[in-house]
Every structure is written in C-alpha cells, then in structure tokens.
Amino acid sequence: MSSELRYTANTQLEHLHARYTGTGHADLSKYDWVTHQHRDTLATIVGHPTLTSFLAIADGESKGRIRFEMTE
C-alpha cells in the first residue's frame, strides 16, 4: 500500500469520526469512553418509550421527569 493511500484512508476516517459523534479515536481516554457509553445508553432510554416507562415504574417518578434527568 502506498503511503498516499494510507493517508487518504486516514483523513476519511477522521472525517467520519468528526461526523459521527461517539465513534471514538485511538487516543481515547477511559473517561471519554465511559462518557460516550453513558450518553449512548441515556439516549437509548429516552429514545425507547418502553425503557422510559420501565424506569419510571421502578423509580416512582413520572416519565417526563425520567426523560429530563436522563437528558440532563
């Protein structure tokens, strides 16, 4: 593989990383990685109505409050 090709592949990758938040990079710290994980999880909980309900029932709160705390 020529170096030029490797270079383009890299820029493409960087471009993709910039475009898709949460995909991480080589120098990712543990903290960053965990934050991304948490954000993914919280987004899933808010995005799926059943998961919001599930947490609301377990915690005795309203769905609106759960959604808010998850986004916060």
Partner 1 sequence: MHLYNLTLQPPTAASQAIVGNFSGARQQEIIVSHGTRLELLRPDVQTGKMSTVIATDVFGSIRSLAAFRLTGGTKDYAIVGSDSGRIVILDYDPKTSSFVKLHQETYGKSGARRIVPGQYLATDPKGRSVMISAMEKSKLVYILNRDAAANLTISSPLEAHKANAIIHHIVGLDVGFENPMYAALEVDYTESDQDHTGQAFKDTEKMLTYYELDLGLNHVVRKWSEPTDRRANLLVQVPGGQVASSERFDGPSGVLVCCEDHIIYRHMDARQHRVPIPRRKHPLEDPNRSIIIVTAVMHKMKGAFFFLLQSEDGDLYKVTIEHEEEEVRALKIKYFDTVPVASSLCILKSGFLFVAAEFGNHYLYQFQKLGDDDNEPEFSSTSYPSFGMSNPDAPLPYAYFRPRPLENLVVADEIESIEPIVDSKVLNVLPNSDAPQIFTACGKGARSTFRTLRHGLEVEESVSSELPGIPNAVWTTKRKEDDEYDSYIILSFVNGTLVLSIGETIEEVQDTGFLSSAPTLAVQQIGADALLQVHPQGIRHVLADRRVNEWRVPQSKTIVSATTNKRQVVVALSSAELVYFELDLDGQLNEYQDRKAMGSTVLALSIAEVPEGRQRTPYLAVGCEDQTVRIISLDPETTLEAISLQALTAPASSICIADMLDASINKTQPTMFVNIGLQNGVLLRTVLDPTNGQLTDTRTRFLGTRPIRLIRVQIQRNPAILALSSRSWLNYTHQNLMHFTPLIFENFDYAWSFSAELSPEGLIGISGSTLRIFQIPKLGTKLKQDSMPLSYTPRKFITHPTNNYFYMIESDHRVMGPDAATNKLDELRKQGQIIDDEVVDLPPEVFGRPKAPAGTWASCIRIIDPVEAKTVAVVPIDCNEAAFSIAVVPFSARGGELHLVVGTAADTLVSPRSCSSGFLRTYKFTNDGANLEFQHKTETDDVPLALLGFQGRLLAGVGKALRIYEIGKKKLLRKVENKSFASAIISLNTQGSRILVGDMQESVSFAVYKPPENRLLIFADDTQPRWTTAVAMVDYNTVAVGDRFGNVFVNRLDAKVSEQVDDDPTGAGILHEKGQLMGAPHKTRMLAHFHVGDLITSIHKVSLVAGGREILLYTCLHGTIGILVPFVSKEDVDFISTLEQHMRTEQSSLVGRDQLSWRGYYVPVKAVVDGDLCETFARLPAQKQSGIAAELDRTVGEVLKKLEQLRTTSSGF
* Positions that interact with partner 1 (CB under 8 A): 20-22, 31-32, 35, 39-40, 42-44, 46-51, 53-54, 56-65, 68, 71-72
* Closer to partner 1 by Cβ: residue 8 or 53: 53
Asked if 51 and 63 count as a contact pair (C-beta separation under 8 A), the reply is no
In whole angstroms, how close is the CB of 1 to partner 1 at the nearest point? 29
In whole angstroms, how close is the CB of 5 to partner 1 at the nearest point? 27
In whole angstroms, how close is the CB of 7 to partner 1 at the nearest point? 24
3-state secondary structure 10-67: HHHHHHHHHHCCCCCCCCCCHHHHHHHHHHHHHHHHHHCHHHHHHHHHHHCCCHHHHH
Written as six digits, the tokens of 37 are 């994980």
* Closer to partner 1 by Cβ: residue 5 or 58: 58
